[in-house]
Chains A and B, each alone.
Chain A
Amino acid sequence: MKSKAACLLLLLSLLFMGMDGNGQEQDERNELLEQQNVLKEKIETLRREQDFLLFERALYATDSKYLIINLGAKRGQLKYKNRVLKDFRFTGSANLAKDALKPGTVTLTKKREYPGQRHVLFFGRSLVIQWKPPASSPYAENISRISLSKRDFQSIFYAIEKGAKAYIMR
């Protein structure tokens, strides 16, 4: 009976010893995974930063005006090379807050004039810039939209040409 109890004790201690070692390993693994996630996020941020820097560098070399749209700050800039021509504020459609518009470059594909100066700038199917929507809405409800004051919009509408770039920042 005594030997059985000893056996059981030995077995249990072996079992718990093993578990203790594995627990340490698990802790180390968790720490490494955490470190990996932090690095992943850092790399992502650096890539986004680089994407924007490449955009600015490329646009510096061209002769066209472009927009910087900062969705977080709800502010934008009209720029030419490295010079700011205009600062503006805007309001965004509800879906802008839901990450519907990804950071990066979009291109002005269409400039449409509508009665009552309710013109619209189309950046593909990603974004619409307007003052007020035209009477008969020319785009799908779920497209991301930003609205500017009438004066700011009029200035921007005539300042940029089809093919102009805009950089979306979050």
Chain B
Amino acid sequence: MQTTKKTILVILLFSCCIMAPFPVWAGDAAAPATIDALKDKILAMEQEAAVLEEENRGMMKMLKEMEDDDVYLVVDTESNRLTMRKGKTILLTAVVGTGSRQFVKEETGRNWYFETPTGSLTVLGKERNPVWIRPDWSYVEENMPVPPENDPDRIVRGVLGKYALILGNGYKIHGTKYTELLGTHFTHGCISVGDKDLETLYRSVKIGTKVYIY
């Protein structure tokens, strides 16, 4: 009798030890999700991932279509650098001169502020051996009398380098005689470039090329 009791006790103890790690057997209230529930959840997650993948593919395609492989120019007026880019590639980095950020006043009250315009501009034209038509401020700056509008004295050759890219409103990307000033703010608003870089720009840039100035 004593042996029987002992055997039963051993069996009970053994069963408890085996059952303890398995809450289903142990009747645990916080039972984990059933296999089927897990499978359902995974199926739902797979569907969600598929939808997200599809949406992302669509958006990437749309963004890709917005991209183009055109050359464009970027002018940083703070550091006086011009970069020519195509897609993610930098084709050229040039040290340039930009607007002096200075005022010139005329006795009559007229005044000018020499700043390179910022924003998104377009190359409107290309010139070889550009001619500079001296504007009024150029005379005022040098305390010279301002000649009439079409005075031939206003036509100056050889000061803008061999090429110019026209940006509109009188602004251009052109060469300069003052190459030692490149990298500083010294122009009247145009973007001055060294001879070699100017030639590269002239050959690479088309009419319609975008120019981003900031």
Q: How far is the CB of B214 from chain A (nearest CB, A)?
A: 4
> Are the C-beta atoms of B35 and A28 separated by less than 8 Å?
yes
B-facing residues in A9-59 (Cβ within 8 Å): 11-12, 15, 18-19, 22, 25, 28-29, 32-33, 35-36, 39-40, 42-43, 46-47, 49-50, 53-54, 56-57
User: Which one of A67-75, A77-85, A94-102, A106-114 is at the B interface?
Assistant: A77-85
The residues of B that contact A32 with a CB separation of less than 8 Å are 35, 38-39, 42
Q: How far is the CB of A40 from chain B (nearest CB, A)?
A: 7
> Are the C-beta atoms of A8 and B35 separated by less than 8 Å?
no
The residues of A that contact B153 with a CB separation of less than 8 Å are none
> Are the C-beta atoms of B214 and A36 separated by less than 8 Å?
no
How many chain A residues have a CB neighbour from B under 8 Å?
Answer: 44
Which of B15, B39, B79 is the one whose CB lies under 8 Å from A15?
Answer: B15
B133 within 8 A of A: no
Q: How far is the CB of A24 from chain B (nearest CB, A)?
A: 10
Which of A46, A78, A154 is the one whose CB lies under 8 Å from B49?
Answer: A46
**Residues 60-78 of chain B, each 1 if its beta carbon lies under 8 Å from chain A, else 0:** 1011001100001010111
B4 within 8 A of A: yes
Which of B4, B25, B60, B85 is the one whose CB lies under 8 Å from A18?
Answer: B25
> Are the C-beta atoms of A86 and B78 separated by less than 8 Å?
no
On whether A82 and B63 interact (CB within 8 A), knowing A151-B79, A155-B78, the answer reads yes
B18 within 8 A of A: yes
A65 within 8 A of B: yes
**Residues 4-41 of chain B, each 1 if its beta carbon lies under 8 Å from chain A, else 0:** 10010001001100100010110000001001001101
On whether A47 and B52 interact (CB within 8 A), knowing A83-B212, A85-B214, A158-B78, the answer reads yes
Which of A15, A65, A151 is the one whose CB lies under 8 Å from B18?
Answer: A15
The residues of A that contact B210 with a CB separation of less than 8 Å are 83
A2 within 8 A of B: no
B129 within 8 A of A: no
CA distance A11 to B18 in the complex (A): 13
The residues of B that contact A25 with a CB separation of less than 8 Å are 35
CA distance A3 to B171 in the complex (A): 110
B46 within 8 A of A: yes
B141 within 8 A of A: no
On whether A35 and B85 interact (CB within 8 A), knowing A8-B7, A47-B52, the answer reads no
The residues of B that contact A19 with a CB separation of less than 8 Å are 18, 22
> Are the C-beta atoms of B38 and A33 separated by less than 8 Å?
yes
B106 within 8 A of A: no
On whether A85 and B74 interact (CB within 8 A), knowing A32-B39, A42-B49, A53-B59, the answer reads yes
CA distance A19 to B14 in the complex (A): 13
On whether A43 and B63 interact (CB within 8 A), knowing A32-B35, A32-B38, A83-B72, the answer reads no
B127 within 8 A of A: no
A-facing residues in B142-179 (Cβ within 8 Å): none
CA distance A39 to B67 in the complex (A): 32
Residues of chain B touching chain A, judged by Cβ–Cβ distance below 8 Å, are 4, 7, 11, 14-15, 18, 22, 24-25, 32, 35, 38-39, 41-42, 45-46, 48-49, 52-53, 55-56, 59-60, 62-63, 66-67, 72, 74, 76-79, 83, 85, 88, 120, 210, 212, 214
**11 A-B interface contacts by CB (under 8 A):** A15-B14, A36-B38, A39-B42, A39-B49, A46-B49, A50-B55, A50-B56, A82-B67, A85-B74, A85-B76, A157-B78
